[in-house]
A = this chain, B = another copy of it.
Amino acid sequence: MARSMLIAVDAMGGDNAPAEIVKGAVNALADERIKIIFLGAEEAIRKELSQHLVKTDQVEIIAASEVITNEESPTNAIRQKKNSSMVLGLRLLKDRKASAFVSAGATGALLTGATVIVGRIPGIERPALGALLPNEKNFSLLIDCGANVDAKPNYLVQFAKMGSIYMENVLGVREPRVGLLNIGAESEKGNALTKEAYALLENAVPHFVGNVEARDVPWGAADVIVCDAFVGNVVLKYTEGFAKAIMGVIQKELMSSTVSKLGALLAKNALRRVKNSFDYAEVGGAPFLGLRALVVKAHGSSDAKAIQAAIRGCAACLEKDIARKIESSLIQV
């Protein structure tokens, strides 16, 4: 447990880089096992670091002169920007000079770069992005929510296996229930992808609970919810927008009269807990599962709290050695 965790952090990725990235990473250093390697514009990182109290042996900076943006083609960006914070971070991982890489930068470039530079686990056709989706009780892992928009049925089986290992080891869920996100409960429901995937999942995944309708997701109908990345990304982003919108409507309604304002004041702590339970920043990062080493995508709009949570999530995955567990489970099968 005491072994150090060397986490490379893309200081230039996301809307709030580098200030919030550096701040969040520094806060994560409260866990003394963690060491951070920042990648990015050295001067800017140094300036941000000077705002905080940091043990110098817990941080390192590797200068990166380029930044990959959302507007670029992922393949071109990874190929051409060899000195970008993202490419250099992924190279550290490949060369085993870091044990994980966290970035709030462009998802497409991160996926492409991670696949090309870090590489897939043998037997995994496509790495997938798994995100923890809040539900009424706890969290479900929604996988894939960002990598394979036109998925094949057998990818979904691999997502199910990887997601189960993640939930069992990182969140401590015993025998995680796997559900297929679908538009009806019956096995014959759905589109071409889900119909075919259903049969495969039924045979290959021991704790497959069948189709899960979207209306049952917020009640925790399954621990692992598999889908293609188009549907998964829609659900993930809709959750984010809907939670904000509903809290906005609540705020507006509560401010509409003196009596309800008083009520809101008294219920303030309760309402804050509601907001937090559906808040992204509390979750932080989403791991790409199926890679030879750990790559975590943080939300593009991550603040320091979200980055800290992403690094904390990284540490939990490293502690349980998720990448190796996925690899060995595939060999057993």
Contacts and interface: CB of A to CB of B under 8 A. Distances in A.
Interface of A: 71, 135-136, 149-150, 181, 183, 186, 190-192, 194, 213-219, 228-231, 233-246, 248-250, 253-254, 256-257, 259-260, 262-271, 273-274, 277-278
Chain A contact residues: over half helix, strand or loop, or mixed?
A: helix
A191 B240 CA distance: 21
Given A214-B235, A215-B241, A246-B278, A230 B270 contact: no
A299 to B, nearest CB: 11
Contact of A260 (B135, B249, B260, B270): B270
A270 B215 CA distance: 25
Q: Which of A219, A235, A249, A268 has the most CB of B within 10 A?
A: A249
B181 A234 contact: yes
Contacts of A192: 150
Given A249-B136, A260-B266, A277-B249, A234 B233 contact: no
A267 B238 CA distance: 27
Given A214-B237, A264-B267, 9 more contacts: A215-B238, A217-B238, A217-B241, A219-B241, A238-B238, A242-B242, A250-B274, A254-B267, A266-B266
Nearest to A258: B266
Q: Which of A230, A240, A264 has the most CB of B within 10 A?
A: A230
